[in-house]
Structure 1
């Protein structure tokens, strides 16, 4: 696909034609840069610099369709189809000419076709890798069987040889696997016991340093209140001898609370 052929369809602009995407001063500057970059592309002079200028304008002024369109074409030319679609779809949402719309439609078809081809190629490569991996595994297994047959006249394969073969095949040695499971279970049991001891220790510390002092303090206050009542009762008893009203109050008090007890 000759993407450069599209550059000839882009025209130079006046600032008055593009004052809708920025302030007049900024629009004038952007259009001037666009015209300079477009001339470089048409003259095939410093194409890389021209494309970089188009990218800058496209990113700074996304409502300016021509720079985004040209930069999208450049990305497609370099095989960056996914990124090219981002810029070209942005252009399709803007107010553009029929000529530019027709170019976009043609470019979308080509880019989508290229993306589909690329995905199919990746799928085939991945499929070939899987088949190659299966072939290598099968070859390794055949080598193991040949080696085992050759050793029938001598000793059986040692444990280290079996482990080495399993590693080549990407398998785990069942014996080693059982040992690993036992180790993991022991570690898990130890963690559970440590957690249980930690929780019990925390509960004991909370009880000893927080709950226990509160209980003792409460009991101390109760004992102090009982002593105060005993003292008050004793004083009332002693003073009742000299005052009939206090004597009557004491009798009423003893009658009431002695019955309750």
Structure 2
């Protein structure tokens, strides 16, 4: 059953057609890759899916619900979370508090209770601490829960951003170049972690990535964009052996 259905998606900025007639069907629980050369329109697609941009044409449906026209916060509540190519953590907050910021919509106490520490405030805070630590443990970050996020090594900051996205309890998690800047050992560890997250939480993942070893190692299907248009789609083996993809993306 399809979780995400994108049909004839397109957007124009003035006279520039940034994305044109993109179609994407992602099944529940699937790990899907979105690749292409720089400037191919990958991040623009992510911005369309998350409501940063409103499409000029086409439809976006999550679990059958139309997302076009909804704000980014509404889309997040509908079940889409994302990370960014450039890390956007609250670096002067603790690792634990970074994850808890993503849990705030599930807090269940009023603004007055929050300010005055009344009612269910402490109970909910304890529950959020436990939930945040549970998520951090999946990423092997529970031991650094009280570190400042900005003091973590780069690879762990990448993991923390994914953990924070997971804390919003999404149906679909969008990962924008999660292995960017990582060394081979960190990338291998990240691959294992992403697979663990998918298995444990039954989550659907769409990722942008330039590391072909990562893409071919964990993605079940891939969509290739070039100049904002679909170039190829299918299994990693079929796509990465496609002569047009090799020419456009790998430069051969």
Higher RCO (CA-CA < 8 Å; seq separation 6+): 2
Same fold, TM exceeding 0.5? no
TM-score of the superposed pair, with normalisation by structure 1: 0.22
The structure with more strand, counted as a fraction of residues? 2
